[in-house]
Structure 1
Amino acid sequence: MFYGLSGVRHNSYVSDSKLFPVPADRNAVVFFLLLGLAAPYLVSSLYLNSYILPWLIWTAAVLGLNLVTGWAGQLHLGYAAVMAVGAYSAVHAAKFGIPWEFALLIGGLASSVIGSLFAFAALRTKGLYLALTTLAMQFVMDWVLTHSPTIAGGSHASLQSPTFALLGQDITSDAGLYYVAFGWCVLVTIFMLNLRRTGLGRALVAVREKDFAAAILGVNSFYYKLVAFAASSFIAGVSGAILVSTFYFLAAPEQFAVNVSIQVLAMVIVGGLGSILGSYLGAALILLMPGVVNQLFSLGANLLGLDLGIETLAHIPNAAYGALIVIFLMVEPLGLGKLYANVRDYLMVWPFDQLKK
């Protein structure tokens, strides 16, 4: 069978802790990696830049939020704020003539510094109280961006991003910008895949499950919360900088408003807390599905000869999109990543699962 484990034996801890104990999972990852590398030659530039490129960047950002929310269990409603710090820091650094390689690092480090402040709030609060604290910090950042012309240019202004370049070479082609987003997403994915096998990943899970019990076992909960917020913020900062420099081409306050933080958190929850595959699926559903639903409703109205007004076409797809999310969560509350795990687990024992009945 496709997911069969025949011939797979684990006689050591190293073999049992492989990234992909199931060969089919490894083959699927290799297939999609090759598909991603060949994407510029398989799809048009319109779909490449309008759909796939932002999906990859937002997936990297969702993986960063999953690190602090899914792994460490800290509810974060100010994620767009740290993305904004990284975006504006990197753009200003690039404008000063700093190469983009270092500008991205500056954006990530600046976000880590600001994001670490959330960890101090996490030391004193948790749950909904932490969510409100991070939300308050999001509102503070929104105010700073709209009232600081030096940073953002003002409430209705935008900061133009310099041409993105790597190793001194300007990257202006659609394929080049896509590969930048693809490479960053792959790097973040590799980091997250290896994180769950390390002592740091196990400590974060212990803090998530019960920080008091983890402290009794010798796990310094505040230290690991600080690491989680700092690492997550670094990923957010670099993701925000790449988003601005390869997709938006300018930075504006509304790109990192509070609704963006809620949207990214929705991607994490719909995809599945602590699920790497779920981060990809959740980002795809929240980011790409509204456009797909709008097209389907417009096509259906034309086929049925219905004369739907512009306002109706604008609201009905949103309602259907929201209902779709509710249905997904009702079918599997643990997210889309768990749906895949359920199908895989079923196929692992099919057709021999009939023997247990």
Structure 2
Amino acid sequence: MFYRLSGTYHTSYASDRKLWKIPADRWLVIAVFVLAVLAPFYVSPLYLGSYVLPWVIWSAAALSLTLLMGMAGQLHFGFAAVMAIGAYSSIHLVRFGVPFEIALLLSGLIAAVIGAIFGGAALRVKGLYLVMATLAMQYLVDWVVVNVPAISGGAHATLRTPAVSFLFMDISSLASRYWLALGWAVLLTVFFMNVKRSSFGRALVAIRDKDFAAAVIGVDPFRTKLAAFFTSSFMGGVTGAILAFCFYRAVTPEQFGFNVSIQLVAMVLVGGLGSVIGSYLGAGFVLLAPIFLTNFIAALASAGWFPVSQNFLSHLPLMIYGAMIIGFLLLEPLGLAKIYDNIRKYFLVWPFRHARS
């Protein structure tokens, strides 16, 4: 069979730590990557700009938060504020004449420094207390953005992104903006897949499981958590800048509110904590499921299947969407990534079955 683990035995740590223990996994990833790169050629501009592009960007945002929540075990309910810092910083840096490539890195560094400052202040607390500390960051950043006109122009102002180029490539077209966002998502994916195998990744897992035990074996909890906040905030800041330039192209304070932070946490939880593919699945579910449900129910209502009021129809998709999230968490608490892993393990032994006791 083309997808089989039987007969593959690992005799060294190097072989056991391979990214692709099964060759079919590598070819599957290559096929998905090729399809993603060629998407502008076979996907209509409407679907590319309305569905695929935001899915890629929010998957990168979910990956950024997964490093902090999934690997380090640190709750963060103010990640939208981190992305807002990156978005506004990149716009002002480009307006000051900084090249867009450098502006992306600087906006990530600014978000990383501010995120690490709040993270360092919150490292003395855990659980719900840490949630409250990150909420304070969210509301403080929201207040500063709204009440400092030099940053956002005011509470109801819209800050447009300047025309820029990336590595001498004009990104005014939809396809170029999509390829830039896809490149950043792929870079984060490669980083996340390899950080799990590094000493930093193992330190994060040790801190997540038991920070006191990690300290006993030589892992510094404060430095490791601070590095997790810094790294995650850097990736979130760059993702916020890419979100502003590649998708929104004009930012307002409402685009990075508390509800966005909740959606990001939902993407990580529904997708699966600490999972790369879970970030993509969770972002797709949280972002696209309400849209598809709304269109589907609207089509059924227009056909006469739902003879109810329009007000009820407008709330029905959200009710079904919430019920689906609860159902996923009840049936499979480890998220969509675990469901995918269960299907994958089924095909590892297909057409045979596991031995039943």
Report what 1:244 is aligned to.
244
What are the within-5 Å matches in structure 2 for residues 144-183 of structure 1? 144-183=144-183
Q: What's 1:190 paired with? A: 190
* Correspondence list, 1:13-52, <5 A: 13-52=13-52
Shift of 1:8: 2.7
* Amino acid paired to 2:212: F
Tell whether the 8 Å contact from 2:123 to 2:130 is kept in structure 1 after alignment. Answer: no
Q: 5 Å matches for 1:293-308?
A: 293-308=293-308
1:238 Cα deviation after fit? 0.5
Task: State how far apart, in whole Å, the 2-side matches of 1:137 and 1:152 are.
Answer: 17
User: Shift of the alpha carbon at 1:346?
Assistant: 2.3
Aligned residue number for residue 321 of structure 2: 321
- The 8 Å contact of residues 329 and 335 in structure 1, kept in 2 or not, is answered as yes
Contact 2:160 2:251 in 1 (8 A): yes
Structure 2 regions of 5+ residues with no counterpart?
none
Alpha-carbon distance in 2 for matches of 1:185, 1:23: 23
**Structure 1 position 308, deviation (Å):** 4.1
- Give 1:9 deviation, angstroms: 3.3
**Structure 1: how far apart are the matches of 2:99 and 2:7?**
50
Structure 2: how far apart are the matches of 1:46 and 1:10?
Answer: 47
Whole-Å separation in 2 of the counterparts to 1:167 and 1:24: 34
Task: Give the 3 Å change call, closer, same or farther, for CA 252–105 of structure 1 in structure 2.
Answer: same
Q: Tell me which residue corresponds to 2:130.
A: 130
Post-superposition CA distance 1:79-124 (Å, at most 9, x none): 0111111111100001111110001011100000011023213321
Cα distance per residue 1:269-291 (max 9 Å; x no partner) = 00011011100000000001111
Q: Output aligned runs, 1:222-261, within 5 Å.
A: 222-261=222-261
2:91 equivalent to 1:91: yes
Letter in 1 for 2:193: L
How many Å separate the matches in 2 of 1:307 and 1:338? 38
What is aligned with 2:269? 269
Is residue 2:104 matched to residue 1:107? no
Q: Secondary structure at the match of 1:172?
A: coil
Consecutive unaligned residues of structure 1, counting only runs of 5 or more, are none
Structure 2 distance, partners of 1:83, 1:305, is: 42
CA displacement 1:216-244 (0-9 Å, x = unmatched):
11100111101110010011000000000
SS in 1 for 2:4: coil
Determine the C-alpha separation between the residues in 2 that align with 1:66 and 1:77. Answer: 12
Q: C-alpha displacement at 1:347, in angstroms? A: 2.2
Matching of residues 336-355 of structure 1 within 5 Å: 336-353=336-353, 355=355
Residue by residue, what CA displacement relative to the aligned partner does 1:15-35 show, whole Å, maximum 9, x if unpaired? 111112122221211110011
Q: Taking every aligned residue pair, what percent have the same amino acid on both sides?
A: 53
Structure 1 residues 273, 354: CA separation in 2 closer, same or farther (over 3 Å shift)?
closer
Q: Distance in 1 between matches of 2:269 and 2:151?
A: 32
Segment drifting more, 194-203 vs 161-170: 161-170
Give yes or no for contact 1:119–1:222 (8 Å, CA) kept in 2.
no
TM-score by length of 1: 0.97
How many Å separate the matches in 1 of 2:262 and 2:354? 43
User: Root-mean-square deviation (CA), in Å?
Assistant: 1.3
2:137 aligned partner, one-letter code: M
Q: Would the aligned equivalents of 1:121 and 1:130 in 2 still touch at CA under 8 Å?
A: no
The one-letter code sitting in structure 2 at the alignment partner of 1:119 is: G
Q: Provide the rounded CA distance (Å) in 2 between the counterparts of 1:229 and 1:62.
A: 14
Q: How many residues align?
A: 357
